[in-house]
Amino acid sequence: MMKKTFAVAALAAVMIPAAAFGQARDQIRIVGSSTVFPFSTAAAEAFGRQGKFKTPVVESTGTGGGMRLFCAGVGTGHPDMTNASRPMTKSEFESCAKNGVTDITEVKIGFDGIVLADKLGSAKMNLSRKDIYLALAEKVPMNGGLAENPYKTWAQVNPNLPNIKIEVIGPPPTSGTRDAFVELVMDFGCKDFPEIKAITDAKARSQACSKIREDGAYIEAGENDNLIIQKLNTSPDAIGIFGYSFLDQNKDKVQGSQIEGFDSTFENISSGKYPVSRSLFFYAKNAHVGVIPGIKEFITEFVSEKAFGKDGYLTDKGLIPLPDAERAKTRDSSVSMTKLAM
Partner 1 sequence: MTDIVERPQGVASRGAALGVHATEEAQKRLKRRYASEWRFRAYGLTAILISITALAVLLWSIVGQGYTAFTATTMSLTVTVDPALADPGGKRAQDDLRTGDFQGIARAGLRSVFPDVKERSDLRALYTILSNGASDAIRDRVLDNPALIGQQITVRIPVASDYDMYAKGFAAKTPKGGESRLSPKQIAWFETLKADGKIHSSFNIWFLTSGDSRQPELAGVGGAIIGSLLTLAITLAIAFPLGVMAAVYLEEFAPKNRWTDLIEVNINNLAAVPSIVFGLLGLAVFLNVFGLPRSAPVVGGVVLALMSLPIIIIASRASLRAVPPSIRQAALGLGASRVQVVTHHVLPLAMPGILTGTILSMAHALGETAPLLMIGMVAFIVDIPSGATQAATVLPVQIYLWADSPERGFVEKTSAAIMVLLAFLLAMNAIAIFLRKKFERKW
Q: Which C-beta is closer to partner 1: that of 174 or that of 207?
A: 174
* Least gap, CB of 19 to partner 1 (angstroms): 4
* Least gap, CB of 97 to partner 1 (angstroms): 21
* Least gap, CB of 248 to partner 1 (angstroms): 8
* Least gap, CB of 79 to partner 1 (angstroms): 8
Q: Which C-beta is closer to partner 1: that of 30 or that of 209?
A: 30
Inter-axis angle of helices 37-49 and 295-302, nearest 10: 120
Q: How many CB atoms lie within 10 A of CB 81?
A: 27
Q: Which C-beta is closer to partner 1: that of 151 or that of 242?
A: 242
Q: Which C-beta is closer to partner 1: that of 193 or that of 244?
A: 244
Residue 119 CA to residue 230 CA, distance in Å, equals: 10
Q: Which amino acid is at 330?
A: T
**Which residues of the shown chain bind partner 1 in the complex (CB under 8 A)?**
1, 4, 7-8, 11, 15-16, 18-19, 21-23, 25, 27, 29, 34, 37-38, 40-42, 44-46, 48-52, 54-55, 57-60, 77, 79, 120-121, 223-226, 243, 245-246, 248-253, 255, 311, 317-318
Q: Which C-beta is closer to partner 1: that of 38 or that of 87?
A: 38
Residue 163: C-alpha distances to residues 83, 157, 173, 232, 251 (Å): 41, 10, 28, 18, 25
Residue 70 CA to residue 58 CA, distance in Å, equals: 13
Residue 129: C-alpha distances to residues 61, 121, 299 (Å): 30, 23, 36
Which candidate, 304, 336, 296, 333, places its Cα nearest to that of 321?
Answer: 304
* Least gap, CB of 141 to partner 1 (angstroms): 36
